[in-house]
Structure 1
């Protein structure tokens, strides 16, 4: 399933599920990120959240007009894919960053949670260990929606934060957030490892 249920929100204004997925990060996650759409209290738009719970802290919001555009893009892409089975759906066709309003409280929770748990994350620990082989003292924690080629620095809007490395391991409490990070870009929505995602979801639900 790929953002199908968020398209349904445009028709029914009910909770739905979206997946932000591109082939390049499939190997770094067991499954694509689940993103849930919850109608705002005044019904002016949809809150995008990592949690099924409507009251959990959400990533950000999109207006109803953007939901309608999303549905149209999804249906058009689905029709094109039916005609060409190997065609990949591209997130930039499905969610317009210009229509997205980021929720600062979510970013605060995400940064705090990542800072507390990043050294225990299997995915980023392995990536950092490989980077240490390049004699690096620091490692960028990047959004998995757009992993950089090996040895390349991620785009600044995709760098969630930076950690210090020591003997091939992430130093606890060394995480520094990147103020230039964007939770939505043309490449998709906020996507981290399964381990970090579960921790962030838990904190978002606690803070609701």
Structure 2
């Protein structure tokens, strides 16, 4: 089932006088569920060469296909992962892509909202990694040259906002507070309206955060 999103009225915070009303990051890495995937000898691996980082599509056997109460099981389902090896844990799967060669869009695999099912276990890991590593991200540090106080956004690079403009809510991972020119990682607030897949494709982290995410996924 495609993820259901809550309606959020999000007030952007840009000064120390504004109090954040965003929901805190609730999950810890140790609380995430684990599930083993079943590998099959005839599984197929596809590399996405259009994405800026290595991205792989792992063909799932029928028993690993996510079930849905509203839609029938697609004929072909792929697990998206940043790892070339077949996923061993749910947290290593970005999400599930349904595909049918008879689609009017052609036979090519396309990551689009109407074909993609989010994986909450991965989403939680994603935001934990952002929170733990954003203070060392050169892209975040560059913000401190212009802003010494208040809140700043951690933007999704699939759709960069023009200079001086704020990204769309679906392109903001979350927000973090700056105090006396220092990032406060513990203040990181997850943006509920961020979309793992939008009409512009899969999310994109900065080079640093993506590297840390992949490093963590390999260690699972």
Question: How many residues end up aligned between the 2 structures?
Answer: 164
Q: Is the Cα–Cα contact under 8 Å of residues 153 and 172 in structure 2 kept in the other structure? A: yes
**Pairing of 1:66-145 with structure 2 (within 5 A):** 72=107, 94-126=110-142, 128-132=143-147, 137-145=150-158
Unpaired runs of 5+ in structure 1? 1-11, 22-31, 75-93
**1:16 has 2:46 as partner:** yes
How far apart are the structure 2 equivalents of 1:34 and 1:203?
Answer: 15
Which residue number corresponds to residue 52 of structure 1?
84
- 1:186/1:195 Cα in 2 relative to 1: closer, same or farther (>3 Å)? same
Higher helix share: 1
How far apart are the structure 1 equivalents of 2:145 and 2:164?
Answer: 10
CA RMSD, Structure 1 to Structure 2 (Å): 2.5
Query: 3-state SS of the aligned residue for 2:186?
Result: coil
TM-score normalised to structure 2 length: 0.66
C-alpha distance after superposition, 1:157-198 (max 9, x if no partner): 111011111233322322111111111111121210111111
Higher radius of gyration, 1 or 2: 2
TM-score normalised to structure 1 length: 0.69
CA shift, 1:151, in A, is: 1.6
Unpaired runs of 5+ in structure 2? 1-41, 66-75
Runs of 4+ aligned structure 1 residues displaced above 6 Å come to 66-70
